[in-house]
Amino acid sequence: MSMRPNRNLMLVPTLLGLAALSGPISAWPAAAPERFFTIGTGQVGGTYYPLGRAICDLVNRDREVHGYRCSVDPTQGSVENVTAMRKGESDFAIIQADVHFQSFEGTGRWAGQPQSNLRSMLSLYPELATILSPPGAITETDDLLGVRVNVGQSASGGRATWDLVMDALGKQQNAVVTQFRPEDANAMLCAGQIDASVLMVGHPSTVVANGLAQCQLDFFPISVQGIDRILAERPYYQRGVIPGEDYGLEGFVPTFGVSATLVTRAGTDDDLVALVTGTVLDHFDEIQELVPTLRGVEVRDMAEGGLTAPMHPAAKRALQERDLLE
């Protein structure tokens, strides 16, 4: 009679050998827990959200190396992002430089309540004041005061900029102001329910392109005199032009703009700030492919242009290490 080997008995020395080589199972190192952080962005149909999404995707691609996982928080925009930063609901945010300036200094809607814990990281791209209206509906800036104007949601940067512009021009806000999403404002313009839509956007803009495609709309050019008054004593604004070629049109539309900036808090961990800053700088070509608005931006432009609050020291070091800042 043949005898079969007892496989259970054969496993015993094997397991004992592994234990001898590896040591007690309880001594094996456990995988480090992932650390989570959030970037506050904007509306899904805008530019902030896909930009934040691109940054998070790049960070998460190497999360097994650095141990961080990034998530994107869609918001109404810059003003809501400042609030989320103050409450600790976001670790990073994309914020218009004018909104960042006012909140840091404690002026405008933050009068007496400076958000002095905010820190600049990078200047991302220019956002331009863009006014869409039916042909002939608006011929000069003063016309905006007597018509129905959509200025964006209450916690958006566009709404905050409208308030600043009206103050700069010394105008009382007697326009009939609505606060709908830019995407909804396009349909309302085409239906004759409003007379103008004011946006702060980078170009080319999907929202603007969709509006021009829906019905016959015009860009309203702000006068040189109006731009001069807006820029006076407001260093965070700068002259700009909307390139018609972005929308299959000829010429340029004169306007003014402000930088969209990447922001964090003073107490954010240096390693995390360095990781996010380095991700943007080292993979900027990939980000530009995903977010067309950034395609005309040079990496060197991100170091200082348009920043309106002190820079986080870890972001500054990341720029210096890449010879982008002295």
Categorize the per-residue pLDDT at 108 as very low, low, confident or very high, splitting at 50, 70 and 90: confident
Categorize the per-residue pLDDT at 191 as very low, low, confident or very high, splitting at 50, 70 and 90: very high
Q: Give CA–CA dist 48/53, Å, rounded.
A: 8
Q: Note the pTM of the prediction, 2 decimals.
A: 0.83
What is the pLDDT, as a whole number, of residue 175?
A: 65
pLDDT in tens, 145-156: 778 889 888 888
Q: Give CA–CA dist 197/215, Å, rounded.
A: 14
Rounded alpha-carbon distances, angstroms, from residue 296 to 93, 175, 243, 291: 22, 35, 12, 11
Give the rounded percent of residues in the chain with a pLDDT score beyond 90.
57
Categorize the per-residue pLDDT at 38 as very low, low, confident or very high, splitting at 50, 70 and 90: very high
Domain boundaries, the chain: 35-321
Between 157 and 48, where is the model more confident?
48
- Is domain 35-321 classified as CATH 3.40.190.10? yes
Pairing of strands 118-133, 92-96: unpaired
Residue spans of beta strands (DSSP E) within 134-237: 148-150, 176-178, 196-201, 218-219
Categorize the per-residue pLDDT at 22 as very low, low, confident or very high, splitting at 50, 70 and 90: very low
